[in-house]
Amino acid sequence: MHTPLIDRLRRRGYRLTAQRRVVAEVLEGENVHLTAEAVLDRATELLPEISRATVYATLQQFTELGEVRELALDGRAKRYDPNVEPAHHHLVCDTCGLVFDVAHGIDAPGLSGADRHGMAMQGAEIVYHGECADCSVRAADDKMAT
């Protein structure tokens, strides 16, 4: 079986290994944004001897290939978004870490030359912060309980 991802790996000179297949499979099977540890957990179910180092390395490779997007949404673990296309931003619950995709069509304003500070621009990521309904309810309950 050749998914587009696997094809691109081959074309770039990467070898086709069971480990890479498994990581690709885990990512494609999810529409939430997993952390590396979550990917490792699921990958271990499919290929018990896979190692942590391999999962981390593979996620980096996929990121470099543009197959997944690495997201730094909060100060915790990075998350991996398998939906590269269409471009979109994210909405995060600051309390529990829940992530929603924001409809595409929204984009960050560009930077003027002066604001670029001589840097080569590579893109912009908008992170909307809020509190999800569940956490709001839980906060209200906690207040009542006092």
Partner DNA sequence: CTCCGACTTTGGACAATATCCAGATCCTTG
Partner DNA sequence: CAAGGATCTGGATATTGTCCAAAGTCGGAG
- Count the Cβ atoms, other than its own, within 10 Å of residue 127: 14
Q: Does 57 bind DNA (CB under 7 A)?
A: yes
Q: Taking every pair of C-alpha atoms in the chain, what is the biggest distance, in angstroms?
A: 61
Instruction: For residue 37, state whether it binds DNA (rule: CB under 7 A).
Output: yes
Whole-number Å distance between alpha carbons of 72 and 59: 14
* Cα-based distances in Å from 95 to 64, 108, 135: 30, 25, 7
Footprint of a copy of itself on 98-117 (CB under 8 A): 100, 102-103, 106-109, 111-112, 114-117
Q: Which partner, DNA, a copy of itself, none, binds residue 96 by CB below 5 to 8 Å per kind?
A: none
Q: Which of 118, 141, 142, 143 binds a copy of itself (CB under 8 A)?
A: 118
Q: Which residues bind a copy of itself (CB under 8 A)?
A: 70, 72-75, 77-78, 91, 93-94, 100, 102-103, 106-109, 111-112, 114-133, 136
